[in-house]
Structure 1
Amino acid sequence: MNNNITPQTNEVNPKENNSTKKIVLITSLAIIVLIGCISGYLLSKNKKLVDSYANKVYPGIYVFDKDVSGLTKEELHTVLEEMVGNISSRKLSIAINDKSFEESYNNFDVTIDYETFENEVLSYGKDIGFFEKVNRIKKPESKTYEFSINYNEEKLVGFIDSINDAVLINPVDAKANIYGGTVNITPEQIGYELNKEDLKSKIEAVLLKVKDEDLVALDGQLVEIQPYITAAALQTVDTKISSYTTHFTAGPSGTNVLRGAQMIGSRVVMPGDEFSTVEAIGPTTAEYGFVSANTYLNGKVVPGFGGGVCQISSTIYNAELRAGIIPTYRVNHEMTVSYVPQGLDATIGDEWPDLTFENPYDYPIIVNVYAGGGSLTAEFWSNSEATGGIRYEPKAYQTGSLSADTYLYGYDSNGECVLEKYLDSSVYKPFS
């Protein structure tokens, strides 16, 4: 049996092989072109999407709880103006004891920095790559911006000052009146003022809140103002440390001496404080009860309101020196006077010159001036320890018919001189 098997051969037609390759190539090219077209389309679409937000707020952006996605700068500005307008329409109500004060936020010029804040919101997402922008637009994540409130601090301070003016109760210093050798004291009264810093902090805190009630109620606090002069301080005054008396006659000058003494009365000078005779007497005008009398002017005796009050300053000067106090300013008259020796007078004017001194002691001084029956007396009262047991005595030595040098001497309890101090020289003009 012949089992010969004839082998089969698979011959490929070259033409068919080439056709298959062409089909694969064309298909591949078609797919590439299709992908390119699709990619180009998508790229173009995404570019348009990104470009559409070039001048708009990206999705997912909030200003506080307000969604501002997709808004242009103009639209965002309108939204912000509305928000600020709502804040400006609020009112403050300040309660202080039984008084209340109301003010609109608008009067504090409440606003925001629109330009800076709008640019900040609009710039979000604009500084990243293209595909990141696409992803941020298509798949936004929430982002919240909060603006800061600006206000006119000067107007706020003015409002607070106006409240303080309305609630202010000024303190009243303790007063002393010396009569019959006794120091009578009227107690001080505590004052009250607004705690302005506390209220300012409270108002600033609510002004900066974006969300709040239409009427914001706050409480203001009062703080005590302690009087400068207290009864406790005046109670240390227990001794008359010096006194000096001059004499005057009835007439216009005498009237002014009486009135000036009344104006001074018992004047308290605290440690380190300055006493001004001109200030203590006050304006020497008809309104205050003064009359026209003889005064010195350019070497002549001429009439003038308040003439004669220089006798008060001269009397105080002599009492002052006997209290061991040297003036901070003193000038002699143009011409001599009859009521004190040359070199121991002190002239004053409407405003200047003046007789002034500072209290050098650790205790209050009471300058007590009174007049009557042709006598004018100036007394200095203080604590018995003030002068340290030293007795003071001024002396003026004539150096000519119209000049004198003045010294101050101090004596201890044994009568020994422990102080000799030259004060000044006084030169006078002759009467013309």
Structure 2
Amino acid sequence: MDNNIAPQTNEVVKKPTTKLKKILIFAVVAVLLLVGGTAAYVNSENKKLVNSYEEKVYPGTFVFDTDVSGFTKSELHTVLEEMVNEISSRKINVSIGDSNFEKSYLNLETTIDYETFENEVLSFGKDKAFKEKLALIKEPESRSYGYEVLYSEDKISEFVDTIAEQVKIAPVNASISVSWDSISVTEGQIGYELNKDELFNNIKTALEDIHGDELVSIEGNIKEVDPEITTAALQSVDTKISSYTTYFSPGPSGTNIQIGAGMIGNVLLMPGESFSTVEAIGPTTPENGFVSANTYLNGKVVPGYGGGVCQISSTIYNAELRAGIIPDFRTYHEMTVGYVPQGLDATIGDEWPDLVFTNPYDYPVVVNVYASGGSITAEFWSNSQATGGVTYEPKSYQTGSLSADTYLYGYNSAGECISEVYLDSSVYKPFS
């Protein structure tokens, strides 16, 4: 037996006491509470932060180069009003030659759509989740908004119209006069007018420029306006294409014929234009120099102002037909007349009936009427090619003692009849 073997010992390992366990548990709980409390606090603060921006603009927001971060709608509106007021204080100067026309933006009613723009700026991010909202607030990214300037197009139009009226130079039509087989043409003059559409659009562009100058200069342009009746068109009139003369005796009717013929004188009809004998003569009143003379009424000869002017319309009618022009409106007399054959007369009244016809040719037609020495003549002048070389002759055929049918015939250069047109039947009353 080895006496050096150490004696065995039985050590007892002591377990933590209940008190120590409690301390450890308390410590763990305390840490958890601290962490949880901190998290809850942070979360609460974050909610407060996010909620604080529900009625404010998120950070990093600019209107052009103005920082509006954290602004309420009222504060944003105030800033926008200042911006719009600055724009409205600007002016536009339109120069045309040596003339200048100025208008303030305010007078053109410049503004913006406040409600729509403010809602757009304020609503950004409000539809996102909580974490995204928090990120937008704590880690903002720069965003810039720009508004559109609004204005009154009616006010712009008024401004442009005012300018146009002041710079306008109306064109002058060429004119023509025929006297004793002599043709005289007075040249027309070119007019000038503002290019309104161009100026209107240039003003709109200036108003829409947010960063424009305090005084915006715009040059208005004018354009030439040709006269409706040109010298070249009237110079095409070179030939008397028809003529007709009737005769009258001195007296009241003769006086009225001479006055009425003078009222007509030279009348220019461009292609497609119409002639009214009643309008050309005008009211047959004493104020216009007309006197009382014989007229027809209800089968009787009675006195009336302007009596005798129907001889003017009848003379024109015969010259018109010989020019190859068929009337639009023509009425025969109530009773027969002695200065033209039956069926070739044309009566007129103060307003109606009337002798009306339209220039059917591609060239101007000049109606020239004059009276002197007991005769009245109506002439039709135009281009030598107007009638295409056709000569026209009206003929009336009596169908009874007080009735006639009228035709218009056309003849070529060889004298051959190439056209026949029935015009009208005239039926007269006997004198009572």
1:260-314 Cα deviation digits (max 9, x unpaired): 3233322222223333333433455555555555544555556555444333222
Equivalence for 1:191: 191
Write the distance in 1 (CA, Å) between the matches of 2:88 and 2:300. 71
Write the distance in 1 (CA, Å) between the matches of 2:303 and 2:180. 36
Q: Relative to 1, partners in 2 of residues 1:351 and 1:396: Cα closer, same or farther, differing over 3 Å?
A: same
SS at match of 1:14: coil
Q: Relative to 1, partners in 2 of residues 1:147 and 1:292: Cα closer, same or farther, differing over 3 Å?
A: farther
Question: Is structure 2 residue 292 aligned with structure 1 residue 257?
Answer: no
Query: How many pairs align?
Result: 431
The one-letter code matched in structure 2 to 1:73 is K
Equivalence for 1:327: 327
Q: Relative to 1, partners in 2 of residues 1:373 and 1:197: Cα closer, same or farther, differing over 3 Å?
A: same
Q: Relative to 1, partners in 2 of residues 1:307 and 1:205: Cα closer, same or farther, differing over 3 Å?
A: farther
Please report the TM-score for the alignment, with normalisation by the length of structure 1: 0.90
Shift of residue 31 of structure 1? 2.0
Equivalence for 2:272: 272
Please report the TM-score for the alignment, with normalisation by the length of structure 2: 0.90
SS at match of 2:16: helix
Write the distance in 2 (CA, Å) between the matches of 1:110 and 1:131. 41
Equivalence for 1:337: 337
Equivalence for 2:170: 170
Shift of residue 322 of structure 1? 0.3
Equivalence for 1:51: 51
Q: Relative to 1, partners in 2 of residues 1:357 and 1:91: Cα closer, same or farther, differing over 3 Å?
A: same
Q: Relative to 1, partners in 2 of residues 1:407 and 1:126: Cα closer, same or farther, differing over 3 Å?
A: same
Shift of residue 114 of structure 1? 1.8
Which shows bigger deviation, 89-98 or 185-194? 89-98
Write the distance in 2 (CA, Å) between the matches of 1:376 and 1:264. 12
1:377-416 Cα deviation digits (max 9, x unpaired): 1111112222122111111222334332211111122222
Write the distance in 2 (CA, Å) between the matches of 1:148 and 1:185. 57
Q: Relative to 1, partners in 2 of residues 1:130 and 1:382: Cα closer, same or farther, differing over 3 Å?
A: same
SS at match of 1:218: strand
Equivalence for 2:79: 79
Write the distance in 1 (CA, Å) between the matches of 2:48 and 2:228. 78
Equivalence for 1:104: 104
Write the distance in 2 (CA, Å) between the matches of 1:10 and 1:372. 166
Alignment of structure 1 residues 15-30 onto 2, 5 Å = 15-16=16-17, 22-30=22-30
The one-letter code matched in structure 2 to 1:343 is G
Shift of residue 206 of structure 1? 1.0
Write the distance in 1 (CA, Å) between the matches of 2:70 and 2:287. 77
Shift of residue 7 of structure 1? 7.3
1:86-110 Cα deviation digits (max 9, x unpaired): 3223322222222222223233222
Gap runs ≥5 in structure 2: none
Question: Is structure 2 residue 15 aligned with structure 1 residue 14?
Answer: yes
Which shows bigger deviation, 83-92 or 359-368? 83-92
The one-letter code matched in structure 2 to 1:133 is K
Equivalence for 2:393: 393
Gap runs ≥5 in structure 1: none
Shift of residue 2 of structure 1? 6.4
Q: Identity across aligned pairs (percent)? A: 63
Alignment of structure 1 residues 266-415 onto 2, 5 Å = 266-285=266-285, 288-291=288-291, 293-296=293-296, 305-415=305-415
Write the distance in 2 (CA, Å) between the matches of 1:177 and 1:57. 79
Equivalence for 2:144: 144
Shift of residue 223 of structure 1? 0.8
SS at match of 1:241: strand
The one-letter code matched in structure 2 to 1:56 is K
The one-letter code matched in structure 1 to 2:91 is K
1:102-148 Cα deviation digits (max 9, x unpaired): 22323322222222111111111111111211221222222121111
Q: Relative to 1, partners in 2 of residues 1:157 and 1:252: Cα closer, same or farther, differing over 3 Å?
A: farther
The one-letter code matched in structure 2 to 1:169 is I
Q: Relative to 1, partners in 2 of residues 1:206 and 1:27: Cα closer, same or farther, differing over 3 Å?
A: same
Equivalence for 1:207: 207
Write the distance in 2 (CA, Å) between the matches of 1:285 and 1:8. 161
Which shows bigger deviation, 349-358 or 412-421? 349-358
The one-letter code matched in structure 1 to 2:316 is I
Write the distance in 2 (CA, Å) between the matches of 1:138 and 1:335. 107
